[in-house]
Each structure stands twice: as C-alpha cells, then as structure tokens.
Amino acid sequence: MKKFHNFLAICMIVCLAGLIGTAKAQNDPIFSEDFAALTGSGTQQCEASNSEITNTLSNYLPGWTGVKVYSAAGKVKLGTGSVAGAITTAPFDANGSIRIVFDARCWNGSDATTMTVTVGSNVYEVTGLPNTGSSSNVECDLATFEVIASASGSTTITFTGANRIFLDNISVYPATSPAIAVNGTTTFTNVGVNEACNTTLVATGYNLTAGGTTTIAITGDSQFTTTATTAANDELMTEDGVQIPVAFTAAEAGTYNATLTLTNSDLSEPVTVALSATVIDITEVATIAELRNLIDWSNVDTNFTDDTFYKYTGHAYVTQTFRSGSYNKWMQDATGAIQLYDPSFHLTNVSQGQEITNVVGKLANYYGYLELNVQAGINNSDINAFPTTVPEPLDITLSQLQDKSYMDGIQGQLVRVNCVTFSATGNFERQIRYVVSDGTTTDTAVYFTGQYDTYVGEEIPTSEVSVVGVTQITAAYSNGYGTPRVDSRYYILPREMGACAGVAENEQANVNVYPNPTANNVTLEIANPVTHVAIYNMLGELVDSQAVAAGSNVVRMSQLTHGVYFLRIFNGNELVGTAKVVRN
C-alpha cells in the first residue's frame, strides 16, 4: 500500500487543462467504455433517468458494479441530491503506470465540484468539474480529465462523486511518456483576513531522466509562497514523491490567484497548477445566543440567508447528526442551540457527541427557523471527541410543544417528552408527522424530515417511551414529500427513544457513578435494591446489560467504544435511576 505523509496527500488532482506535463504520446487504450449501452433517458438534467439501475448494471456493462447508478442517454449518472454514487469498472490487466482519461461534470451549483478516482489502494481527487445549468434535458458540458495512477495485474477503477456527477468516455492508456502529477489541495475558501493557511502538495514523477532536476516556482499574487525551489527526479519517481509546502495569508478581503509551475527538460511543456484563495471579513461570535440575535428569524413566510460570514468561537456540543448523506447537524452551548445546515458537506469529520469550535457560516431564516449555513470545514484540532460538558435533555410537555412563544426560546435545543405512546403502527417513514399522547395531551409532535433521520425504517414502539430529540419549526408536508405543506409549528426530530422513565428518571439522589468521564470502568453506588443496569448509546440502542446489587458495583465499560452512554438501573422491571457516563 502506498504510504502518504498527510491527509492531503491522498488526493491527486490531475486535470487535462494543465496539471500534467507530458509528451502526449497516444497509445491504443488497454480499456475503454463509452456507455453507449446505457440508452435509458428521462427528464432530469442531461437526460438522466430517475430509475436506478444499480442492481441490473451488469446486464448493460458486464463485470461492472456500482452504488446509486442511473442511465443518462449514453452517459452514466452517479448519486442523488443527498446520496453519493460510485461505479467500478470490470477488471482489466495493467502493468505499471496508467493514464485514465474521462469526461465528467457535476449536477449544478449546489453540488460539490469534486470526485475521486480509486485505483487499488490509491485515491486520486479530481476537482473543477463543470456545474453550470440546472434545467431539464440541457446539453451537458462535460469536461475532460486525466489521472495518472499506478496499477499492477488485474485492475479495477472506481469513480465516486461527492454529490451527483455525470461520467462518459473512459479510456485507459499505458503511461509510457515522461510526466509529473501534482496532488493536494490548491484552493483556500472563505479564509479570514490575516489568517495563515498552509497546505502540502505532493509531486510524483513518471519516466523522468534519472539524476535530473525539476524547477519549482510560484508566480502571480505574492500572498502565495513556497520554500521549495527544486526537486530531484529520483525523489519524484519514488512512491512518496516530493512534498511542496504552500503558504498563504492576505491582509485584505478579495480573490487571489497564483500559478505553481514545475519545469523539467523531459516534459514537452511545464506542469502548471492553479492556486486560488477567497479571503473574507469574518465576524467572530463567542456564544450561540449572540448568533441567534444577529438576524431576524421571526418571519415564517420567508427563506432568507444574509451575506455576512460569522465564526462561532465558543465550544458547543453536537447534540444530533442525521445518518450519513444528510445535510443537518445541531450544536448547543450553555446559551442556546442552532442547526448547522451543511449541503456542501464541509463538516463530514464532525460526529454526534463531540464538542466543536471555529464553525464558519451565514445565518439564515428558513421559514421561521434559524440556521447557520456552513461555509467552510473545521480542522480536526477544532473537534474534541471527549467533551467535559454534556447537555441534559430539557424535559418538556406536549402542551409546551404547542406553545410557539415558549418553544421560540428553546429552538433547536435537545429536549425530551416522557412516557408517550404512538398512535401509528408499523415502521417509521420519512416526511411523516406522528401523533403521540402522554395521557393528558394528544399532539402531532414527532416528525421525520427525510430518509436519513434516526429511526426511519425502524419499528414504531407499541409501548410507552421517552423521546429525546431536537426541536425544529417547519412547514411540514401534510402526508409525505410532494404533498401540500401545513402551517409552520414546532416538532421533535427524534434522536433517541428509550423505555418510559417515569418519575424516577430524573431523581439521581440514590445513584452515584464515578469516575466520570472514565477511561475504562465505573463504580456504581446504589442505595436502593436493584437487579441490573442497562447501558444505551447516544442513539438509544442497548449495548450491554450487567447484574448489579444495592451498594458498590463495578460496571464494565472498557469493552465499549469512546462516547457518551446512558445507564438505566432497574429493580426487576422497575426503573429506579439513571446516569450519564462519558467513556474516553
């Protein structure tokens, strides 16, 4: 397996527009596919069909496999607006370096303009996919891209889209001519004024003259700099290649561009790599309460996003994330909560139960619901997997959920309604509002916004349960996606469902747990008679059950992964106490 020095080095950006210098010798392809067999079409962009053919793909392309694959009138479409797609070629024989040439584009301006090409254990990132236009049946302006990769023996290539992409005209050639490929991140987006940015590009050479030298230089805006001036061909032709550090900082907002050039006498033309940065003025905000006061989100009839960039510099707990593929997360600090809307998937490294900071976004009023539209990713150093403060759900009643003025004050927060029953049976479905009752009030209180919501597809509880989730005001669909909307009101988006806690759920006087957080096990001291403790994860899933008795008990947690767990202590079938434990 190829070794990479850092995360950026897993991505090889190789575009036909000029990221590779080569003698451009054209050999007969050792593998090719023009997707002529995919004649199916539809009314979606680029004549794509909305009927998935993943399960029948091998009928059209023997030996091929994929995920979320659609026919597009002689092209292939990968993915949907919320689920990434991929396609893997049939195996073919290769020996040494190969050139992979293909045409691609993404859906439109709302989708990421990147994709990956995977050959063996190596992953190459391709950027700059065209994304103009969004109307049905438009003529597709696919661009041509090229990747140089290492291969040996029976080889497959996997093309994966960050969002929806179109793919056509794949050809694979032996890479016998001299070439240099440059991989890494070349674009800095939404950088703050005077903010220092650094990246490490990796240059890899093929078929160069041993003992030769490559010259490295940056021209253009002087805000881009590098300390690398030359690279030895012998080092370029190793698996690890040569690292090229690139630094950027700017004292004023604006757009900056430069060109990294690698010159070698073996190449017919220099390798040029475009460097760019967008620098913005960012308003730093220390608390979520401050964020919530910066725009008016009271109008339930408008969808508005302001133009100001904000950076939340406090430390917030991530109370909820939907399943993979969803745009939505929620974070909460001591002053309030807010939804993070992330359609460009900037925060893929953020998980539920973590503590985060330095989140950059724009504030939006989405029909009376406040969102922070995320505009940039955060560093792993801005993520704490073991937060010291874990918020308890705020207990509310169904009557309070119906009171908009009260709910406005706790919008987006983690809440709990206790001891409720669902009127529906079967499995939970997306875009459905569910009626629950607590014995006093009956309310359409629980809502699943999409297929990635927690519990969608799972069985509806038939007994009393407590429902923990975040609050959201939404103009929900009356009976599923595509049907008329109903009036805006607050719902609970479930994160966890557990056994009905009863009055004893929040009475912890007779339960003592330490150490907390713990690296291994905890001591559980209980004054009352008990029989066992059930351990649940953040999704409300039972992960372990252990016998305990009144007095001091050791509860094993070293076998569990790091995270937040809920202990429910029972005497027979009666719940007598609870505790929350952080396993780090």
Q: Tell me which amino acid residue 40 is.
A: G
Q: In whole angstroms, give the CA distance from residue 269 to residue 219.
A: 16
Which residues is 420 bridged to in the sheet?
Answer: 465
Q: In whole angstroms, give the CA distance from residue 215 to residue 180.
A: 12
pLDDT of residue 132: 63
Cα separations in angstroms, 385 against 364, 564, 584: 28, 10, 8
pLDDT of the chain along its 584 residues, tens only? 233 333 223 233 333 333 444 433 446 899 999 999 999 988 778 888 888 999 999 999 999 999 999 999 999 999 987 788 999 999 999 877 888 999 999 887 666 778 899 998 778 888 778 876 544 455 578 888 888 887 888 999 999 987 889 999 999 988 778 888 887 778 888 888 998 999 999 888 888 999 999 999 999 999 999 999 999 999 998 878 899 999 999 999 999 999 999 999 999 889 888 899 999 999 999 999 999 999 998 888 888 999 899 999 999 999 988 765 567 899 999 999 999 998 777 887 888 889 999 999 999 998 888 999 998 888 889 999 888 778 889 999 999 999 988 999 999 999 999 889 999 999 998 878 899 998 889 999 998 876 667 788 888 988 888 999 999 887 655 665 566 666 778 999 998 888 775 433 334 446 888 888 888 889 998 888 888 898 877 655 678 889 999 889 999 988 888 777 878 788 876 777 778 788 87
Domain 282-384 has CATH 2.40.50.140: yes
pLDDT of residue 71: 95
Q: Do domains 186-204+212-280 and 505-583 have the same CATH topology?
A: yes
Into which CATH architecture does domain 26-176 fall?
Answer: Sandwich (2.60)
Q: In whole angstroms, give the CA distance from residue 71 to residue 78.
A: 9
Helix then strand count (H, E) for the chain reads 5, 44
3-state DSSP assignment of residue 289:
helix
pLDDT of residue 504: 38
Domain regions of the chain by residue span = 26-176, 186-204+212-280, 282-384, 394-499, 505-583
Per the CATH hierarchy, to which homologous superfamily does domain 186-204+212-280 belong? Immunoglobulins (2.60.40.10)
The neighbour count for residue 436, using CB atoms within 10 Å, is 23
Q: Which residue has the tokens 């004054």?
A: 527
**Integer-rounded Cα radius of gyration of the chain:** 27
Give the dihedral sign, CA 364/367/368/369: negative
CA nearest to 319, candidates 307, 328, 306: 328
Residues 6+ positions from 133 with CB-CB distance below 8 Å: 45, 108, 141
pLDDT of residue 499: 72
pLDDT of residue 27: 60
Residues 6+ positions from 141 with CB-CB distance below 8 Å: 105, 130, 132, 133
Alpha carbon distance, N-terminus to C-terminus of the chain = 31
Burial of 147 from C-beta contacts in 10 A (0-12 / 13-18 / 19+): buried
Candidates 2.40.50, 2.30.29, 1.10.3470, 2.60.120; CATH matching 394-499: 2.40.50
CATH of domain 505-583: 2.60.40.3080
